[in-house]
Amino acid sequence: MSKRIKNLVAKELEKRLQGTESVVVIDYIGISANDANKLRTGLRQKKVRLTVVPNSQAKRALKTVGISTADSLLIGTNALVYGGESIVDLVKELVNSKKEIEKLVIKGSVVEGQFLDASATEALAKMPNKRELKGQIVGQALGPGRKLAGQIIGPGSNIAGVIKAVIEKREKENPAAAA
């Protein structure tokens, strides 16, 4: 490949990676065309991209977008997986695909500037994604408020019940006075 073509490939990859903070590096060697197609389709449904690119262009493009810690992963045949709603969703999809595609190897990842090896990357699949975390935080924030409201309303409703019972008792004892 000529130097001009290599530069064009790197520039195109830089455009695709613009705004990306996290990337997973996988080894795709030995995966059949049907399995690769199935993998790409599953990833595309989650708005995730898989790009096979020469290591030198990948290193250059990743360095340009600020993900230079992935250099140690870029040895041999690689594909970059990026995009989607969150890195957790991306890794979950890859781990699920790995169960069906035996030759799929997750080499590692860079998550918001932090390098993760293969086992740490796969551990991300067990974590909740952003939407689930937000739900948990909201639930925890509302929990004490619910308890406090219940504690405030509880005695008030008890007092109201006692007052109502007293009023009803007096009405039964002296119906003429109630009118």
Which domain CATH number covers 41? 3.30.70.1730
- Stated pTM of the model: 0.69
User: What is the reported pLDDT for 155?
Assistant: 77
Domain carrying residue 154: 132-178
Span 154-173, average pLDDT: 82
Residue 177 has pLDDT above 70, yes or no: no
**99 and 17 together in one domain:** yes
Instruction: Find out whether 58 and 80 touch, Cβ atoms under 8 Å.
Output: yes
DSSP 128: -
Residue 176 has pLDDT above 70, yes or no: no
The domain boundary, picked from 88, 103, 127, lies at 127
Alpha-carbon gap, residue 41 to 125, rounded angstroms: 19
> pLDDT tens-digit profile of 26-52?
988 888 888 888 888 888 888 888 888
**138 and 68 together in one domain:** no
User: How many CB atoms neighbour CB 83 within 10 A?
Assistant: 22
**165 and 82 together in one domain:** no
Alpha-carbon gap, residue 97 to 106, rounded angstroms: 11
**61 and 93 together in one domain:** yes
User: What is the reported pLDDT for 9?
Assistant: 80
Q: Which of 85, 57, 83 is nearest to 70 (CA)?
A: 57
Residue 132 has pLDDT above 80, yes or no: no
**117 and 31 together in one domain:** yes
**66 and 95 together in one domain:** yes
